[in-house]
């Protein structure tokens, strides 16, 4: 049994409660993001740690610019000392994109989605004729990408912004010809991502600020 068939069973099960395939897509997306929430937190935390050790990495790159092998060894040592896994940042993104192709096949081939209206668009299996969904996809993707960068990160800021704009425009253009249901999946996923990243920022950086303030007060009392 392929992934598309498994998704078909999942959507039929959700539909038995929602009685609407558009809402079923929304519920499915939220469930997927909910399952990935712990991994997404770890991803954001790893990105924060990586941004914090960037000055150390930059010094190592300058020091060992003529010795790549030694540079890689020292960088890995810094990662280990700071308990950073550079490969642990991509799991939520990989899983989200793995779902895209089966979702596309499901929306295009399963009769349950054909001719099913949702909100203002007439058919979940066909592109949105009003182009509202592609625009929303691009906007939410851009907001998701800029909130994914931990505060205080200065490395390659201009390059990151340029890449975010390019990817947002690219996905807007691509969504024009994709099923509306897939665009709904993207938009809900992006909105969920934006909200969770703002929460992560508040959790991680507020906690950090509280610890810093407590340390200052403790030092002042000690004096």
pLDDT tens digits for 169-211? 998 998 999 999 999 999 999 999 898 888 877 776 665 544 3
pTM higher than 0.85: no
**Residue at 104 is within a domain:** yes
Helical segments of the chain, H only:
3-18, 21-35, 37-52, 54-63, 68-81, 91-109, 132-147, 157-175, 180-222
Q: What is the mean pLDDT of residues 36-64?
A: 79
Please give the average per-residue pLDDT across 92-100, as a whole number: 76
Q: Phi/psi of residue 118, each to 5°?
A: -155, 125
Domain that holds residue 168: 3-52+88-212
For residue 145, being part of any structural domain is answered with yes
- For the chain, how many structural domains are there in total? 1
Tell me, yes or no, whether 77 lies in a domain: no
**Does residue 141 form part of some domain?**
yes
The arithmetic mean of pLDDT across residues 104-112, rounded, is 84
Under 8 Å between Cβ of 119 and 22: yes
> Treating both helix axes as pointing N-terminal to C-terminal, what angle do 91-109 and 180-222 enclose, rounded to 10 degrees?
160
**189 within domain boundaries:** yes
In the chain, what is the greatest distance between 2 CA atoms, to the nearest angstrom? 74
**Residue 146 forms part of a structural domain:** yes
pLDDT score of 88: 58
User: Of 105, 93, 96, 115, nearest to 22 (Cα)?
Assistant: 115
Tell me the two tokens of residue 166: 């390019």
Q: How far apart are CA 135 and CA 68, in angstroms?
A: 44
Q: Which DSSP state fits 117?
A: -
- The answer to which of 33-42, 48-57, 66-75, 84-93 has the lowest mean pLDDT is 84-93
Specify if 70 maps to a domain. Answer: no
Report angle CA 192, 194, 199 to the nearest 5 degrees: 95
**What is the rounded radius of gyration, in angstroms, for the C-alpha atoms of the chain?**
22
pLDDT score at 212: 38
Contact partners, residue 215, CB within 8 Å, separation at least 6: none
Whether 215 shows a pLDDT value over 50: the answer reads no
Does 219 map to a domain? no
């Amino acid at each position: 049994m392929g992934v598309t068939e498994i998704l078909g069973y999942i959507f039929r099960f959700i539909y038995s409660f929602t009685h609407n395939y558009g809402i079923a897509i929304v519920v499915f997306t939220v469930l997927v993001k909910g399952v990935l929430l712990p991994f997404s937190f770890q991803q954001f935390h790893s990105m924060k740690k990586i941004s914090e050790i960037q000055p150390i990495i930059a010094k190592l790159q300058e020091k060992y610019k003529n010795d790549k092998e030694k540079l890689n060894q020292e960088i890995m040592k810094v990662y280990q000392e700071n308990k950073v896994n550079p490969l642990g940042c991509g799991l939520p993104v990989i899983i989200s994109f793995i779902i895209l192709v089966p979702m596309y096949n499901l929306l295009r081939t399963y009769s349950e989605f054909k001719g099913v209206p949702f909100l203002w668009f007439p058919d979940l299996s066909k592109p949105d004729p009003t182009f509202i969904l592609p625009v929303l996809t691009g906007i939410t993707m851009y907001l998701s990408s800029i909130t994914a960068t931990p505060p205080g990160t200065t490395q390659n800021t201009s390059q990151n912004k340029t890449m975010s704009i390019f990817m947002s425009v690219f996905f807007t253009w691509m969504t024009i010809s994709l099923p509306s249901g897939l665009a709904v999946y993207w938009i809900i996923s992006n909105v969920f991502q934006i909200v969770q990243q703002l929460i992560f920022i508040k959790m991680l950086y507020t906690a950090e600020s509280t610890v810093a303030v407590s340390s200052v007060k403790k030092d002042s009392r000690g004096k």
